[in-house]
Amino acid sequence: MSDLKQTPLHAEHVRAGGKMVEFAGYEMPIQYPTGIVAEHRAVRTNAGLFDLSHMGEFFFVGDGAGAAIDGLVSSDIAGLTVGQARYGLLTNERGTIVDDVIVYRLADDEYLMVVNAANIAKDHDHIQKHLPKGVGLDDRSAETALIAIQGPRAATILSSVTDLEERERSIEGLPPFGVTRARVANSRAIVARTGYTGEDGFEVFVDNDRAPQVWSRLLAAGESTGLIPIGLGARDTLRLEARFSLYGNDIDETTDPIEAGLGWTTKLDKPFLGRDAIAAAKERGPKRRIAGLEVTGGVARHGHEVVKNGTVVGHVTSGTFGPTVQKNIALAYVPAELAKVGTALAVRIRDKDIPAKVVKTPFYKRSAP
């Protein structure tokens, strides 16, 4: 794996016995010796630590930065107050999805956009092409490490390694989708209450050289309450149970937000790139829709065909066994009329049509704290 990039936490993963695989040009841990199911459960019941340093961080500064991003992202970026973050989509003129991102407002004229690792170069070009003069775009992906701590015990553990006088403001009192600056494990950090697991949790951005210290301090602080490192395998099962889209699987430049079930991220009463195409798609009504499937008697995987009465009607975009829901779950594009909850379908697995049923999503929702 010599031509692959490594995150600043590579040595920590190897030391912990992480099984390293290629992902988006990086060498990343898919799982640790505890295994995917145990890692998944740790996040749902205690807490888990994720290295997401492969992801991209774009910093925007300058007068009009907010308005500029608002013109490129589907959701209400103009409405963010300082210290707030929002999920949204970068869309193109055709109204299809360039990437899914989270935009954080750090100061009046300073924003952070987190993008998928595989899309860093593409997004950078796309944004640069549309960015007005006067707004600076600084791609700090290569210098920035991202560590996520997720799960019911995440706040307590993160708080214990945060400077005492900042704990209440920057950790415990931080609302969901809140973002602030704080000192974590003696390191300057941006802390956000965001994640990709369906649990409460935080994402912590630090400079690369601080990452090993932040990582090991968090692990040490959480060890006695069940905090363990989590690989990409459990990251995928966690996000799928919570029905978060995975770019490249469930969404890409051939899918529009409406059929992808992401209409809620599109603020159609503002101008943004792709807005007219998306509004038209919504008006027409989508031909196909992403549906949540429960499969009985096999595990559906990305690329499997979806079948109705022997005829192929769609395809699976994500599928796995869900360790918390204890079911085989999947997302699939199917004709809109077959996307209704309760519809009986099948997934073709190894040339056999295995019964599947459209179910309500998310497959898993955490109970109110």
Lookup: tokens for 197: 């697991």
Q: Smallest distance, Å, CB 352 to another protein?
A: 9
Q: With contact defined as beta carbons under 8 Å apart, do 232 and 28 qualify?
A: yes
Q: Smallest distance, Å, CB 310 to another protein?
A: 21
What is the contact mask toward another protein in residues 193 to 232, using x (rule: CB under 8 A)? ----------------------------------------
Tell me whether strands 227-229 and 47-51 are parallel, antiparallel or unpaired: parallel
- Does 35 sit near another protein (CB under 8 A)? yes
- Does 328 sit near another protein (CB under 8 A)? yes
Q: With contact defined as beta carbons under 8 Å apart, do 228 and 43 qualify?
A: no
- Does 37 sit near another protein (CB under 8 A)? yes
Beta bridge partners of 112: 59, 104
Burial (0-12, 13-18, 19+ Cβ within 10 Å), 128: exposed
Number of residues binding to another protein, judged by CB under 8 A: 16
What is the contact mask toward another protein in residues 286 to 305, using x (rule: CB under 8 A)? ------------xx-x----
Coil, strand or helix: which one is 211?
helix
- Does 323 sit near another protein (CB under 8 A)? yes
Q: Smallest distance, Å, CB 263 to another protein?
A: 30
Stretch of 55-63, 106-114, 253-261, 318-326 lying at the interface with another protein (CB under 8 A)? 318-326
- Does 30 sit near another protein (CB under 8 A)? yes
- Does 151 sit near another protein (CB under 8 A)? no
**Spatial distance between the Cα atoms of 166 and 156, rounded to a whole number of angstroms:** 13
Q: Smallest distance, Å, CB 304 to another protein?
A: 10
Q: With contact defined as beta carbons under 8 Å apart, do 176 and 156 qualify?
A: no
Q: Is 19 left (phi over 0), alpha (psi -120 to 50) or beta?
A: beta
* Sheet of 144-150, strands arranged across: 179-184, 187-192, 201-207, 144-150, 47-51, 227-229
- By beta-carbon proximity to another protein, the closer residue of 200 and 250 is 250
- Does 29 sit near another protein (CB under 8 A)? no
* Sheet of 97-107, strands arranged across: 85-91, 97-107, 110-115, 56-61, 136-139
- Does 320 sit near another protein (CB under 8 A)? yes
Beta bridge partners of 358: 293
DSSP result, 51-69 = E-TTSEEEEEESTTHHHHH
- Does 362 sit near another protein (CB under 8 A)? no
- By beta-carbon proximity to another protein, the closer residue of 31 and 361 is 31
Q: With contact defined as beta carbons under 8 Å apart, do 32 and 231 qualify?
A: yes
Q: Smallest distance, Å, CB 361 to another protein?
A: 19
- Does 350 sit near another protein (CB under 8 A)? yes
Pick from 74, 170, 237, 317 the residue near another protein by CB under 8 A.
237
- Rounded to an integer, what is the distance from CA 193 to the centroid of its chain? 13
Stretch of 72-80, 209-217, 267-275, 320-328 lying at the interface with another protein (CB under 8 A)? 320-328
- Does 36 sit near another protein (CB under 8 A)? yes
Residues that bind another protein (CB under 8 A): 30-31, 35-38, 233, 237, 298-299, 301, 320-321, 323, 328, 350
